[in-house]
Amino acid sequence: MGAPEVLVLGEALVDIVETADGVTEHVGGSPANVAVGVARLGVPVRLVTRLGRDERGERIARHVRDAGVEVAEASWTDASTDTARARIRPDGSAEYEFDVAGVVPPVALDGAALVHTGSIALFLDPGGETCLAALEAARGDAIVTVDPNIRPALVGARETALARFARAAAAADLVKLSDEDAEWLWPGDDAPTVLETIARLGAAVVVMTRGGDGAIGRAPDGTVVEVAGVAVVVADTIGAGDSFMASLIATLVDRGVPTDAEALVRALRIAARAAAITVSRPGANPPTRAELED
């Protein structure tokens, strides 16, 4: 295949979802979810991850390929496929337990227009250093996006994780994080303060999602904007942030990095719609471009 427009690096795993109705399995992992979301929006994407040559690994590969994602050949390994056990609370939120190795193989950027990483793969070595090296190599030649998607049980000490995140943000054109990520990284700081802190690390655009309350963002000129959430009946929140991120990536590929508040608001509103569609149905099931435009 030719060069992908988007290169995504990070974990792909199977979410083992426990609810009052029983146990089901869904393909997941934040970077894999983002790759699927980007592909469903019609943007060519290649995923660099770690897949075991087992039934779960084959299932993940089928799932992402069915969405249009190319799986890098270097992703395959003889080790078992990573898993995350999600226990769904009555309000639809999820509590996770992970079995993740944190390995991402080195890969050539191959002229990608945008490079994205984040989540577990960014913070666990040896994969974390691989992801950082890719971001730093891409800086200036491609758009770089980062979503820390903090998993406190896996990322180690806060100071160590914060230093890793700071390196990633310094290479990024856009950083997207959740209000939960922000609270863990900078306890007690309000949203505008967190946005400013990340912008000072080097990111041109910073976005914070706030669940059903929408999102807040900081444009390159320092203007802070807010968009409301889209009201839907929530099935569960798995993949909501990943769908939001995928939509932002598709917008950046289509229109470039937002340069002003108006462009940022437009991107955030589209992303909020994508997240709303995802939470309205079980598992990480992001919308197609047709669904998003409907």
Cβ contact 173:144 at 8 Å: yes
Report residue 276 as tokens: 């709303």
Domain boundaries defined on the chain: 6-287
The reported pTM is 0.92
Judged on CB neighbours under 10 Å (0-12, 13-18, 19+), 187 is: exposed
| pLDDT tens per residue, range 217-265 | 999 999 999 999 888 877 777 779 999 999 999 999 999 999 999 999 9
pLDDT of residue 3: 62
CA 268 to chain centre: 15
pLDDT of residue 1: 47
Ramachandran angles phi, psi of 49, nearest 5°: -145, -160
pLDDT tier for residue 5 given thresholds of 50, 70 and 90: very high
Give the length of the chain.
294
What stretch of H or E contains 195? helix 191-201
Q: What is the mean pLDDT of the chain?
A: 92
Least confident range from 47-51, 66-70, 160-164, 237-241: namely 237-241
- How much of the chain exceeds pLDDT 70, in percent? 99
**Could you read off the pLDDT of 52-68 as tens digits, one per residue?**
999 999 999 999 999 99
Distance CA 178, CA 184 (A): 10
- pLDDT at residue number 87: 84
Annotation: CATH topology of 6-287: UDP-N-acetylmuramoyl-L-alanine:D-glutamate ligase (3.40.1190)
